[in-house]
Structure 1
Amino acid sequence: MAKKARPEHHEEHADESWLLPYSDLMTLLLALFIVLYAMSSANVSKFEAMAEAFDSVFHGGKSIMDHTSSTQDNNTQDGTKSVEEMAKQAAVNKKDTADETLAKLKQKEQADLTKLKKQLDSYIAKNGLSSQLDTNLNQSQLQITISDKALFASGEATVKPSSRTLASAIANILKNFPGYNIQVIGHTDNVPIFNSDFKSNWDLSSSRANNFMQVLLKNPNLDPVRFTSIAAGEYHPVASNATAAGRAQNRRVEVSIIRNYQDSANTISTVNTSSP
């Protein structure tokens, strides 16, 4: 008796029909994310580009990635700046604004110091003190130079009672120009000094600068925080110490009103500083 043929078993194939809607879903998600990205940057040209991209997706044409690339190229061509370019421009604008502000501050400072110098010069001329006081405005400071004989007796550091009027007048002018640091610097000639009060010219110049500063600060409108007294001794002469006239010029007290805006190269170095 013949054997019945067994039915052959065919391998079952998985249903792949789900791939089509899945790929459509991924395409739509990608398009959605592109739209969200475009909406995060308010740019009309980008919205128009996204509309064209959707049209291309659903009606054929370039792929989304190709279209995105061409859109970026078009943005560059039609004048839309990149984020990097806008950041650079913002940095340039910020620097220009800072430079403009600094220039205005320097201009105001120059006007203030010029006005202060005119007031001091007027006081000097009115009181016949041109042989004892002088002013000089340069790139780092406004400097008032006062002869030692206008303030002190020979070899002494106590401000003469008759000179306190001068100190008071200078203080009254300075009070109208707050906001500047002020250095009071004592200078001597190179003739050695040694007595019970002072062991050296350093000591003499230090005491003279500090004592004159203390008289200035009797004006309550001056801020002591802004003041510094400095001993320069004999080491910064303005004339030769070989003659009596030169030594007289070197014995002096300088009141320096320091600029707030100046090049670092113009910054004055200070030594032997003491505070009130």
Structure 2
Amino acid sequence: MAMKILSGRKRKNEESPEWLLTYSDMVTLLLTFFVLLYSYSKVDLEKFQKIVESFRRALAMTSVEPVTVPQVLDNDKAPPGISDEELYNKLRGLIQKEGLAGKVTVSSERRGIVIRLEEQVFFDLGKSELRPEALPVLQKIGAVLREIPDRELRVEGHTDDLPINTLLYPSNWELSAARAGAVVRYFITDCGLRPWRFEIVGCGEFRPAYPNTNPHWRQLNRRVEIVIKEGGATKDENG
């Protein structure tokens, strides 16, 4: 009997070569693979919808206690929403409380809330370096500006009509822009305000608050103005 079985196997192998069996197995596997791919492509959306529905049911049956996450404020991040009237009154109260009359004034204008910094307090004549006594004043103003992180700030430098011609400041354009830049730099580096909120403008002597006809009015024309614009500040966020 053993001889017959061996003989039968030999005849079968002669009729069906081994490579043909391997080939047929491979074709079968490929066919199975493509059938699986086709079936998944047909029901993928349906499976996804079922998964979403199961998550919805699980969440509906689960009671989750609300967790209060402590709010970490950036240096100039605070809840926005203060009105122009509230801001104006806050700044006026700051000036009165801190004895800043004669150093800082505030007004409500069409272009926004305007804070005026008088030159004699903040700068020496013909220079753009902040005087030491100006720094505590800017700190107090910066603290208020941190409470309105959604507002853009236009900082303008102004001079009188007396000409200047130095290596650093060939004209009043350069002097006025440098003074505005010094104020903005302090707000950013020492008060933590975001740089993308600011716009620096040097106006020279061409936008006087008073006629340049006497020394007192010339002194009042030498100033830096911080214009708090209406509406929200936008970041090219990156910036």
The answer, yes or no, to whether TM exceeds 0.5 is yes
- Residue 182 (structure 1) aligned with residue 156 (structure 2): no
Contact 1:133 1:147 (C-alpha < 8 Å) held by counterparts = yes
Aligned amino acid, residue 234 of structure 1: E
Higher relative contact order (Cα pairs below 8 Å, separated by 6+ residues)? 2
SS of 1:143's partner is strand
SS of 2:182's partner is helix
| Alignment-derived partner of residue 128 in structure 1 | 99
Aligned 1:1-276 pairs, distance under 5 A: 112-219=83-190, 221-260=192-231
How much has 1:133 moved relative to structure 2? Answer: 1.3
Aligned amino acid, residue 177 of structure 1: I
Q: Please, which runs of 5 or more residues in structure 2 have no aligned partner?
A: 1-79, 233-239
How much has 1:210 moved relative to structure 2? Answer: 0.3
How much has 1:198 moved relative to structure 2? Answer: 1.0
Summarize deviations over 1:67-113 as a string: whole Å, max 9, x none: xxxxxxxxxxxxxxxxxxxxxxxxxxxxxxxxxxxxxxxxx96x522
SS of 2:216's partner is helix
SS of 2:189's partner is coil
How much has 1:220 moved relative to structure 2? Answer: 5.6
| Alignment-derived partner of residue 33 in structure 1 | none
How much has 1:242 moved relative to structure 2? Answer: 1.1
Summarize deviations over 1:202-226 as a string: whole Å, max 9, x none: 0100100001110111246422111
Aligned amino acid, residue 142 of structure 1: I
The CA distance in 2 between the partners of 1:164 and 1:209, in whole Å, is: 14
Q: Please, which runs of 5 or more residues in structure 1 have no aligned partner?
A: 1-107, 262-276
**Judging changes above 3 Å, is the alpha-carbon distance between structure 1 residues 252 and 220 closer, same or farther for their aligned structure 2 residues?**
closer
SS of 1:198's partner is coil
The CA distance in 2 between the partners of 1:189 and 1:220, in whole Å, is: 29
The CA distance in 2 between the partners of 1:127 and 1:240, in whole Å, is: 30
Contact 1:112 1:177 (C-alpha < 8 Å) held by counterparts = no
**Judging changes above 3 Å, is the alpha-carbon distance between structure 1 residues 212 and 221 closer, same or farther for their aligned structure 2 residues?**
closer
Aligned residues: 154
The CA distance in 1 between the partners of 2:190 and 2:198, in whole Å, is: 13
SS of 1:260's partner is coil
How much has 1:129 moved relative to structure 2? Answer: 1.9
SS of 1:185's partner is strand
SS of 1:256's partner is strand
Q: TM-score, with normalisation over the residues of structure 1?
A: 0.53
Contact 2:143 2:191 (C-alpha < 8 Å) held by counterparts = no
The CA distance in 2 between the partners of 1:139 and 1:201, in whole Å, is: 26
SS of 2:203's partner is strand
The CA distance in 1 between the partners of 2:191 and 2:118, in whole Å, is: 25
Aligned amino acid, residue 161 of structure 1: P
Contact 2:210 2:217 (C-alpha < 8 Å) held by counterparts = yes
| Alignment-derived partner of residue 64 in structure 2 | none
Contact 1:171 1:217 (C-alpha < 8 Å) held by counterparts = no
CA RMSD in angstroms, aligned pairs only: 2.0
Summarize deviations over 1:16-66 as a string: whole Å, max 9, x none: xxxxxxxxxxxxxxxxxxxxxxxxxxxxxxxxxxxxxxxxxxxxxxxxxxx
Q: TM-score, with normalisation over the residues of structure 2?
A: 0.61
Aligned amino acid, residue 123 of structure 1: L
The CA distance in 2 between the partners of 1:150 and 1:174, in whole Å, is: 20
Amino-acid identity (%)? 27
SS of 1:177's partner is coil
Structure 1 stretch displaced more, 212-221 or 132-141: 212-221
